[in-house]
């Protein structure tokens, strides 16, 4: 079945990251970048984002080479959004050393007529006011997914809760689920999130896997076991790309489709962490994805 084109709105950034296994400076990052590089294996993807005049053209060429539509990435006067972070051996938690919003601070997406007609929309981790403004421009979406972070829960919770009433799939990590719902137990937290409107709540737990909740089911998946992990930056967005990319192939969110999508999302995230930036996703092949999917089936079968 032919996949619907996915519209992804988020950040395209320059990341400087240090882990116990190396470091990089001003490499390609951003939620939209990782999402697009993962989702493109299953569906055509169009990105809407903003970069500054200093953004290296080689990064745009890399996204194009991956087959991602970058026509919606605008160049504004000023500097590109930058993030600098550090991971210790506990790779589940990043320590932000510096964030420079730059042109991203005044980002107000204006969708093209083609983008307004998108049926599947991914609202990456950005200000919920911007997420809602984007959704206001899409004429008749059939499936909307969104991500968030603790900062927006702390500072824009009312706006985020309004957004939840309009989305089908909500993604967050375990600490975000607890903060948003006010419940420590993740089952209760998921129920609280679903009561706000989403049909699915996906709670990411880093190296401990992911929990997928609907009104009638719970699906728990471990992370794929790896011997070498270089950088977990973008793993959550890569998971979202694999998940929503696979879902775009089906007209509904059946239990079978959702469970397979969770596995594909987990597989894409596992490849992402094998290198810094998008370098592993950029050279990834469909055959490798299929192979790891089969390995995952063996790993979890009993």
Highest mean pLDDT among 14-23, 87-96, 194-203, 220-229: 194-203
What is the arithmetic mean of pLDDT over 178-195?
Answer: 96
Q: How confident is the model over 104-149, as pLDDT tens digits?
A: 989 999 999 999 999 999 999 999 999 999 999 999 999 999 999 8
Q: Is the pLDDT of residue 175 over 80?
A: yes
Q: How confident is the model over 80-104, as pLDDT tens digits?
A: 999 999 988 877 777 889 989 999 9
The long-range contacts involving 208-214, CB below 8 angstroms and separated by at least 24 positions, are 208/92, 209/266, 210/239, 210/262, 210/265, 210/266, 211/186, 212/258, 212/259, 212/262, 213/187, 214/253, 214/255, 214/258
Q: Which of 2-6, 195-199, 269-273 comes out lowest in average pLDDT?
A: 2-6
Q: What CATH fold (topology level) applies to the domain 6-300?
A: 3.40.1190
pLDDT of residue 226: 87
Residue 154's pLDDT band, with cuts at 50, 70 and 90, is very high
Q: How confident is the model over 19-74, as pLDDT tens digits?
A: 988 999 999 999 999 999 999 999 999 999 999 999 999 999 999 999 999 999 99
pLDDT of residue 2: 63
Domain positions in the chain are 6-300
Instruction: Judge whether 147 and 236 are in contact, CB under 8 Å.
Output: yes
pTM: 0.95
What is the arithmetic mean of pLDDT over 247-255?
Answer: 87
Q: Is the pLDDT of residue 1 over 60?
A: no
How remote is the C-alpha of 228 from its chain's centroid?
Answer: 22
Per-residue CA distances from 178 to 76, 190, 204 (Å): 37, 9, 12
Which residue is it, tokens 């089936």? 297
Q: Is the pLDDT of residue 174 over 90?
A: yes
Over the chain, what is the mean pLDDT? 93
């Amino acid at each position: 079945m032919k996949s619907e084109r996915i519209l992804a709105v988020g950040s395209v950034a320059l990341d400087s990251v240090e882990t116990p296994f190396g470091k990089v400076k001003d490499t390609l990052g951003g939620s939209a970048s990782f999402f697009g590089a993962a989702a493109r294996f299953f569906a055509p993807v169009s990105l809407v984002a903003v970069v500054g005049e200093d953004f290296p053209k080689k990064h745009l060429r890399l996204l194009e080479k991956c087959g991602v539509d970058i026509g919606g990435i605008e160049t504004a006067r000023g500097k590109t959004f930058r993030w600098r972070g550090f991971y210790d051996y506990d790779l589940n938690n990043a320590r932000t050393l510096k964030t420079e919003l730059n042109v991203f601070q005044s980002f107000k997406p204006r969708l093209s007529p083609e983008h307004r007609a998108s049926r599947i929309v991914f609202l990456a981790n950005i200000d919920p006011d911007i997420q809602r403004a984007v959704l206001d421009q899409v004429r008749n979406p059939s499936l909307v997914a969104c991500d968030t972070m603790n900062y927006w829960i702390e500072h824009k919770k009312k706006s985020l809760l309004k957004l939840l009433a309009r989305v089908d799939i909500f993604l967050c990590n375990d600490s975000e689920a607890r903060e948003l719902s006010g419940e420590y137990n993740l089952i209760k937290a998921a129920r609280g999130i679903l009561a706000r409107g989403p049909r699915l709540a996906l709670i990411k737990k880093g190296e401990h896997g992911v929990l997928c909740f609907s009104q009638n089911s719970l699906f728990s998946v471990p992370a794929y076991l790896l011997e070498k992990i270089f950088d977990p930056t973008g793993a959550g967005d890569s998971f979202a790309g694999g998940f929503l990319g696979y879902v775009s192939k089906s007209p509904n969110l059946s239990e079978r489709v959702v469970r397979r999508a969770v596995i594909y999302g987990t597989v894409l995230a596992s490849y992402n962490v094998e290198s810094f930036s998008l370098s592993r996703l950029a050279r990834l092949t469909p055959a490798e994805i299929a192979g790891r999917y089969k390995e995952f089936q063996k790993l979890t079968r009993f």
